[in-house]
Amino acid sequence: MADKKPKSPRTAVLVGPYLSGKTTLLEALLAATGAIPSKGTIKAGNTVGDSAPESRQRKMSVEINVAHTKYLDDPWIFIDCPGSIEFAQEAHNALMVADVAVVVCEPVPDKALTIAPILKFLDDHAIPHMLFVNKMDISAVRVRDLLQSLQAVSERPLILRQVPIRDGDSISGYVDLVSERAYKYRPSQASDLIQVPDSALAREKEARTEMLEALADFDDKLLEQLLEDTQPSTREIYGQITRDLQGDLIVPVLLGAAEHDHGVRRLLKALRHETPEVAASATRRGVEGAGEAVLQVFKTVHAAHTGKLSLARILRGSAKDGATLSGARVSGFSHLMGATPIKQGEAMAGDVVGLGRMEPIKTGDVLTPSGTGPAGLKPWPAALTPVYSLAIKAENRNDEVKLSGALARMVEEDPSLAVEHNPDTHEMVLLGQGEIHLLVTIERIRSKYNLKLTSSKPRVPYKETIKKSTQQHGRHKRQSGGHGQFGDIHVEIKPLARGKGFEFIDKIVGGAVPRNFIPSVEEGIVDYLKRGPLGFTVVDVSVKLYDGSYHAVDSSDMAFKTAARIAMSEGMPKCEPVLLEPICHVTIAVPNEHTSKVQRVITGRRGHILGYDAKPGWKGWDEVQANMPQSDLHDLIIELRSITLGVGSYSWKFDHLAELTGRLADKVIGDQQQAAAS
Ligand SMILES: Nc1nc2c(ncn2[C@@H]2O[C@H](COP(=O)(O)OP(=O)(O)O)[C@@H](O)[C@H]2O)c(=O)[nH]1
Ligand SMILES: [Mg+2]
């Protein structure tokens, strides 16, 4: 027998909503392919996926887990992704290097919407994907109703490939619509081939015709065959499905129950026959033809003992330990099995490898020996924009330097996190995708870097201004011992239009205040404006210096600066100070069945609706534009998600400052004074 070239590994990424059963499916796939002797369970906390302590504790995936296995001699890499929308960045990054995505969902028509964002991402990037409808063991739903709901959220036609065989209330097997063979499920084993039961015959014929008609939309020959009433061969149908899947034209749908290994081998077979090779995925990424090795980094982790680890897929060529890629030397080369690295010497195109200590390299980077990426390379998608934030502080003040290092690494690991120092409130703010996302990040900082943090709702950067003008005299005179201090000025304080900021006008004539002291006057004013009569930064004021006097010996920069402060603190309270609150322009995106609810949310949060329209490129979604006070945005994402099955989102940017008066203003001012006193 001729030597067979080793096949290049293919990568299937498991995605889908939280709790749909992805981690359980990974376990079933690994057990069915012999990579692990027996299945772990989520309950027992011994699955290959969810290896992070933060996952085990919450029984929830918070990061991807990579597993290698072999199925009928073909090497496979399965990547289990977190389902929560708050950890979507992890899933997106893994999908970018996938050959195929398996979208795992529950057989619940009302939950169909939860897969909409992931399907949109897959279609935007032309990533081939199939649906695995899990938990069929506890479903009484009619598959055709389910399909209808799922189709409503998929741009691409869904192609149902199996119909269930029902045995009373439960499902005992399925009929494969291409081969027209029936199988009876057996726990933890391959299913038994059986005769198609009479009860399933009519439904099978009907579903098969629907499948063929849907496929015929993409193939004239098949269409002709159907019109002439000739049966296409099984091989032709499989070939058609494979081509259409690989082109992201259709979405095949398989049924099963991962917990009981139902449908798992059928899924494996579909993957084996229909998943494109890495070369096709490389082309999708813009890496075409032959040439030097190309690796794409899709995850970065900082492990406590081993240092930085970059997970990369080899899109072309091969790579090995010790090689120099894009200027960095690979030191440590491994496969991963959940959290466990397994040393490798070399790896070929298609493989997913952990590269040790690639210090300058970050997620999304393309690595090549020459350091130059291929010409046609497609850009890495932009990181998700933050929708939730918390102010954070090291419990121990001495840890502040350590904290900024730890935060930099966390952001490097997860580009959907951000850290900002707010110059108005002086808070360090951690921004991310939701409450759990940030709490998990804070927990990780504690466990990885032994750093305890406290977190709180970030303060809103209120400002204040004035509504009236005044003229004010400010005089600083002190005679103590030898050298005295003398500064004396007259200023006019005036409100400015919103958004004008601060203006200083020098109207001194005849040297009433000597030239060299005038900058100190301005400095004294600017200093004062950091904290006005209400306790906030003052904006939109004009201060004109129009008169003053000096003393030949006692006048100094300090003395004029102090005089300016005195003038301001006496003058400003007479100018009718008023609180200003930041108003943001907010764009909320939701499926249009929820648009009216969103409008109520906006008005309930003192917002002002500007209008709404269909969201470009999103079938069935609306975008609502509004102006909303920043103080009401803190938990907006939580409410939006709770009314939209988790899929609604928003973006915002500062728009303008608006006067705030009445009870709300009194409360803000009172809180600020209390904070200043404590
Ligand atoms: N009845 C049933 N439960 C399942 C099935 N697959 C997973 N589960 C359960 O669903 C829950 C969520 O599973 P998990 O794999 O963690 O979901 P993930 O969030 O998608 O990774 C766990 O309690 C599983 O035991 C299934 O096929 N049938
Ligand atoms: Mg999971």
Atom of ligand 1 lying closest to residue 24 CA = 15
Distance 621 CA to ligand 1 centre (A): 29
For the Cβ of 137 lying below 6 angstroms from any atom of ligand 1, the answer is yes
Pocket test for ligand 1, best of 30, 42, 87 (most atoms within 8 A of CB): 42
Counting ligands in written order, which one lies closest to the CA of residue 84? 1
Asked if pLDDT for residue 169 goes beyond 90, the answer is no
For the Cβ of 276 lying below 6 angstroms from any atom of ligand 1, the answer is no
Asked if pLDDT for residue 639 goes beyond 70, the answer is yes
Counts for the chain of helices (H) and strands (E), in that order: 17, 35
Residue nearest to atom 9 of ligand 1 (CA): 21
CB distance 298 to 94 below 8 Å: yes
Counting ligands in written order, which one lies closest to the CA of residue 17? 1
Least confident interval from 39-43, 93-97, 333-337: 39-43
Distance 63 CA to ligand 2 centre (A): 9
The CATH homologous superfamily of the domain defined by 290-367: Translation factors (2.40.30.10)
pLDDT average, residue stretch 30-54: 83
Asked if pLDDT for residue 572 goes beyond 70, the answer is yes
Contacts of 262 (CB under 8 A, 6+ apart): 136, 137, 171, 185, 191, 256
Distance 104 CA to ligand 1 centre (A): 10
pLDDT average, residue stretch 609-626: 95
Closest CA to 67 of 107, 94, 96: 94
Q: Is 666 helix (H, G, I), strand (E, B) or coil?
A: helix
- For 97, the token pair is 């290097």
Asked if pLDDT for residue 3 goes beyond 60, the answer is no
Q: Treating both helix axes as pointing N-terminal to C-terminal, what angle do 198-216 and 220-227 enclose, rounded to 10 degrees?
A: 130
Residue nearest to atom 8 of ligand 1 (CA): 21
Atom of ligand 1 lying closest to residue 18 CA = 19
CB distance 245 to 254 below 8 Å: no
- For 565, the token pair is 């402060």
Distance 26 CA to ligand 2 centre (A): 9
**HSE-up of 175 (CA within 13 Å, CB side)?**
20
Atom of ligand 1 lying closest to residue 262 CA = 27
- Cα separation, 305 vs 536, in Å, equals 46
For the Cβ of 368 lying below 6 angstroms from any atom of ligand 1, the answer is no
Pocket test for ligand 1, best of 27, 174, 259 (most atoms within 8 A of CB): 259
In the chain, which segments carry CATH 3.40.50.300? 10-276
Closest CA to 177 of 215, 217, 146, 207: 207
Q: What pLDDT was estimated at residue 4? A: 62
Q: pLDDT tens digits for 327-364?
A: 999 998 999 877 778 899 899 999 999 999 999 999 99
- Cα separation, 404 vs 419, in Å, equals 9
Distance 601 CA to ligand 1 centre (A): 33
Phi then psi dihedrals of residue 392, to 5 deg: -130, 155
Q: Is 91 helix (H, G, I), strand (E, B) or coil?
A: helix
* Residue 263 per-residue DSSP state: T
Asked if pLDDT for residue 656 goes beyond 90, the answer is yes
For the Cβ of 246 lying below 6 angstroms from any atom of ligand 1, the answer is no
For the Cβ of 18 lying below 6 angstroms from any atom of ligand 1, the answer is yes
CB distance 181 to 175 below 8 Å: yes
Distance 608 CA to ligand 1 centre (A): 42
Q: pLDDT tens digits for 454-471?
A: 999 999 999 999 999 999
Q: What pLDDT was estimated at residue 581? A: 97
Work out the number of other CB atoms within 10 angstroms of the CB of residue 449. 19
Q: What pLDDT was estimated at residue 43? A: 81
Share of the chain above pLDDT 70, in %: 99
In the chain, which segments carry CATH 3.30.70.240? 580-677
Closest CA to 635 of 323, 387, 326: 387
For the Cβ of 257 lying below 6 angstroms from any atom of ligand 1, the answer is yes
In the chain, which segments carry CATH 3.30.70.870? 388-456
- Cα separation, 593 vs 27, in Å, equals 37
- Cα separation, 412 vs 112, in Å, equals 33
478 forms beta bridges with 485
For the Cβ of 61 lying below 6 angstroms from any atom of ligand 1, the answer is yes
Asked if pLDDT for residue 1 goes beyond 60, the answer is no
- For 158-198, the DSSP string reads EEE-EEEEEETTEEEEEEETTTTEEEEEETTEEEEEEPPPH
Asked if pLDDT for residue 659 goes beyond 90, the answer is yes
Helix (H) or strand (E) holding 561: helix 557-571
For the Cβ of 24 lying below 6 angstroms from any atom of ligand 1, the answer is yes
Q: Is 530 helix (H, G, I), strand (E, B) or coil?
A: coil
Q: What share of the chain is helix, strand, coil (3-state, %, to 5)?
A: 35, 30, 35
pTM for this structure?
0.91
Most distant pair of Cα atoms in the chain: their distance: 114
Question: What sign results for the dihedral spanned by CA atoms 539, 545, 548, 550?
Answer: positive
Asked if pLDDT for residue 256 goes beyond 60, the answer is yes
Pocket test for ligand 1, best of 13, 14, 19 (most atoms within 8 A of CB): 19
Please give the CATH number for the structural domain made up of 10-276: 3.40.50.300
* CA distances in angstroms from 471 to 543, 546, 577, 653, listed in the order given: 10, 10, 15, 37
**Beta strand spans in 534-643 (E):** 537-538, 541-549, 577-591, 608-614, 621-629
pLDDT average, residue stretch 369-391: 94
Residue nearest to atom 26 of ligand 1 (CA): 135
Work out the number of other CB atoms within 10 angstroms of the CB of residue 6. 10
- Cα separation, 529 vs 535, in Å, equals 10
What is the Cα 125 distance to its own chain's centre? 16
- For 482, the token pair is 């030898």
On average, the pLDDT of the chain sits at 93
Work out the number of other CB atoms within 10 angstroms of the CB of residue 497. 6
pLDDT average, residue stretch 134-161: 95
Contacts of 448 (CB under 8 A, 6+ apart): 302, 304, 406
Least confident interval from 2-6, 82-86, 289-293, 422-426: 2-6
Residue nearest to atom 27 of ligand 1 (CA): 257
For the Cβ of 575 lying below 6 angstroms from any atom of ligand 1, the answer is no
- Contacts of 344-348 spanning 24+ positions with Cβ under 8 A: 345/320, 345/321, 346/318, 346/319, 346/320, 346/321, 347/314, 347/318, 347/319, 347/320, 348/6, 348/8, 348/9, 348/314, 348/318
Atom of ligand 1 lying closest to residue 20 CA = 20
Distance 259 CA to ligand 1 centre (A): 7
* CA distances in angstroms from 78 to 25, 50, 66, 100, 365, listed in the order given: 10, 14, 6, 10, 22
Contacts of 224 (CB under 8 A, 6+ apart): none
Q: With respect to CATH, is domain 580-677 assigned 3.30.70.240?
A: yes
Please give the CATH number for the structural domain made up of 388-456: 3.30.70.870
For the Cβ of 472 lying below 6 angstroms from any atom of ligand 1, the answer is no
For the Cβ of 138 lying below 6 angstroms from any atom of ligand 1, the answer is yes
Topology adopted by domain 464-575: Ribosomal Protein S5; domain 2 (3.30.230)
In the chain, which segments carry CATH 3.30.230.10? 464-575
pLDDT average, residue stretch 413-417: 95
Counting ligands in written order, which one lies closest to the CA of residue 63? 2
Distance 270 CA to ligand 1 centre (A): 22
CB distance 28 to 39 below 8 Å: yes
Atom of ligand 1 lying closest to residue 138 CA = 1
Asked if pLDDT for residue 665 goes beyond 80, the answer is yes
